[in-house]
């Protein structure tokens, strides 16, 4: 095996190194410093919101979203089922209960009809998940939220650069949260962001993410010596200025990264479109997919585990899609989400990142089709 084609790979280089060097020279490496502030301003502008807050990861941003929206023990929050469990975990961190709603079979985001059916007297809000970056049905979800007096959160962990009906991901709900994990479209290795148009929520989130007090940069700008008073339990959810510098460089790269991955997705679609046992992912016509991942659906007759093992042996990295949350024992949910459960069993993520060459894309597609055909013949 001469080459391993990576499942995901960040695009980083001299621009990020120069940004880090600038932060080192400034002497302010900790979180919530001047570089974090610059990144927050840039990111808010990019996603079309008034406020952005850099966080340690998307999970912390989700936790802040629910805290600032007033979620408390005894509440229920409806969550799109097909998602990494950080979404459900964030609800449990507040003492509330996640109630998982099934997803659409085509774009894998939460089904508005399932959300409507899940509303109870204890429901306080909805978290929609942009599956692998493609936005959910926010107009329909907003109508449901307004009808029942609920908040709406966009889990945009994978969605940087995506759009819904011409509006950028991040601007589609009361609060949105992003991830800058190493496999995301733009990355500092780890990190996240909380974004909103509401001044009150942004101010509260900024306080909670720094132990419940104003940050050091804000205090340093005052004309007197401030002695913080702790009146509310807060957390250390800050992103370091070193990581924020990387994110500024990554934002500069974002248009090119998106264009490259769209080309990769289009080429995969061409190469896989006629295969009987492999279904390529669908992009809704009123959305722009950022292609954080490229996830195919294998026919139910195909042994996904055997396909994955053979692909890896041939140098093509792969993994399952994401989780059907309702089947995870932690949550104790008994109501079925059959669409999500089916996707959980049949999805396979193949290499998707902006560093893939055309030859690698063709190799991945050819290897995948050959493996599936070979294993199907053996059955």
Please calculate the CA angle 193-196-199 and round it to the nearest 5 degrees.
Answer: 120
User: Within this chain, do residues 69 and 167 fall inside the same structural domain, yes or no?
Assistant: yes
Residue 120 lies in a domain: yes
DSSP code of residue 111:
P
Residue 6 lies in a domain: no
Sheet hosting strand 192-196, strand order edge to edge: 51-55, 192-196, 175-179, 151-155, 123-129, 76-80, 97-101
Burial of 27 (0-12, 13-18, 19+ CB in 10 A): exposed
CATH number for position 163: 3.40.640.10
User: Within this chain, do residues 80 and 149 fall inside the same structural domain, yes or no?
Assistant: yes
User: Within this chain, do residues 307 and 179 fall inside the same structural domain, yes or no?
Assistant: no
C-beta of residue 291 within 8 angstroms of C-beta of residue 134: no
CA quadruple 164, 165, 166, 167: dihedral positive or negative?
A: negative
User: Within this chain, do residues 40 and 115 fall inside the same structural domain, yes or no?
Assistant: yes
pTM of the predicted model over 0.85: yes
State which of 201, 228, 250 marks the end of a domain: 250
Residue 200 CA to residue 197 CA, distance in Å, equals 9
User: Within this chain, do residues 311 and 227 fall inside the same structural domain, yes or no?
Assistant: no
Parent domain of 296: 254-377
- The closest alpha carbon to 314, from 282, 360, 270, belongs to 360
User: Within this chain, do residues 237 and 192 fall inside the same structural domain, yes or no?
Assistant: yes
Secondary structure (H, E, C), 326-355: HHCHHHCCCCCCHHHHHHHHHEEEECCCCC
Q: Among this protein's residues, is 184 annotated catalytic?
A: yes
Residue 9 lies in a domain: no
Residue 69 CA to residue 138 CA, distance in Å, equals 18
Among the listed residues 72, 147, 184, 273, the single catalytic one is 184
Number of domains in the chain: 2
User: Within this chain, do residues 154 and 271 fall inside the same structural domain, yes or no?
Assistant: no
C-beta of residue 128 within 8 angstroms of C-beta of residue 154: yes
User: Within this chain, do residues 35 and 129 fall inside the same structural domain, yes or no?
Assistant: yes
Q: pLDDT in tens for each of the 379 residues of the chain?
A: 579 999 999 999 999 999 999 999 999 999 999 999 999 999 999 999 999 999 999 999 999 999 999 999 999 999 999 999 999 999 999 999 999 999 999 999 999 999 999 999 999 999 999 999 999 999 999 999 999 999 999 999 999 999 999 999 999 999 999 999 999 999 999 999 999 999 999 999 999 999 999 866 766 666 678 788 899 999 999 999 999 999 999 999 999 999 999 999 999 999 999 999 999 999 999 999 999 999 999 999 999 999 999 999 999 999 999 999 999 999 999 899 999 999 999 999 999 999 999 999 999 999 999 999 999 887 6
Sheet hosting strand 163-164, strand order edge to edge: 167-168, 163-164, 287-288
User: Within this chain, do residues 54 and 190 fall inside the same structural domain, yes or no?
Assistant: yes
CA quadruple 234, 240, 241, 246: dihedral positive or negative?
A: negative
Residue 95 CA to residue 363 CA, distance in Å, equals 48
State which of 205, 231, 250 marks the end of a domain: 250
Cβ neighbours of 199 (radius 10 Å): 10
């Amino acid at each position: 095996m001469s080459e391993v084609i990576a499942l995901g790979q960040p695009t980083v280089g001299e621009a990020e190194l120069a940004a880090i060097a600038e932060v080192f020279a400034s002497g302010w490496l900790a979180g919530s410093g001047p570089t974090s502030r610059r990144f927050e301003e840039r990111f808010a502008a990019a996603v079309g919101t008034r406020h952005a807050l850099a966080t340690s990861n998307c999970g912390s941003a989700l936790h802040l979203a629910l805290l600032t929206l007033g979620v408390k023990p005894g509440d229920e929050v409806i969550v799109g089922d097909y998602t990494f469990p950080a979404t459900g975990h964030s609800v449990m961190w507040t003492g509330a209960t996640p109630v998982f709603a099934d997803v659409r079979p085509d774009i894998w985001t939460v089904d508005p009809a399932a959300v409507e059916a899940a509303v109870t007297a204890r429901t306080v809000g909805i978290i929609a998940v942009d599956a692998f970056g493609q936005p959910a049905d926010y107009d329909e979800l907003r109508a449901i939220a307004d009808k029942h007096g609920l908040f709406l959160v966009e889990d945009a962990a994978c969605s940087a650069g995506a759009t819904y009906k011409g509006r950028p991901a991040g601007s589609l709900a009361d609060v949105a949260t992003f991830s800058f994990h190493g496999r995301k479209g733009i990355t500092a290795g780890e990190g996240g962001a909380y974004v909103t148009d509401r001044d009150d929520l942004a101010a509260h989130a900024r306080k909670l993410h720094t132990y419940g007090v104003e940050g050091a940069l804000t205090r340093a700008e005052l004309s007197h010596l401030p002695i913080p008073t702790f009146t509310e339990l807060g957390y250390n959810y800050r992103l370091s200025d070193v990581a924020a510098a990387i994110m500024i460089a990554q934002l500069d790269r974002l248009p090119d990264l998106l264009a490259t991955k769209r080309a990769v997705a289009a080429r995969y679609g061409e190469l896989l479109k006629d295969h009987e046992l492999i279904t390529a992912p669908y992009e809704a016509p009123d959305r722009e997919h950022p292609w954080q991942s490229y996830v195919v659906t294998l026919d139910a007759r195909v042994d996904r585990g055997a396909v994955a093992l053979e692909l890896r042996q041939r140098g093509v990295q792969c993994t399952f899609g994401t989780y059907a949350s309702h089947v995870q024992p932690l949550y104790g949910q008994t109501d079925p989400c059959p669409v999500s459960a089916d996707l959980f069993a049949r999805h396979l993520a193949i290499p998707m990142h902006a560093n893939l060459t055309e030859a690698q894309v063709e190799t991945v597609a050819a290897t995948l089709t050959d493996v599936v055909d070979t294993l199907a013949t053996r059955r």
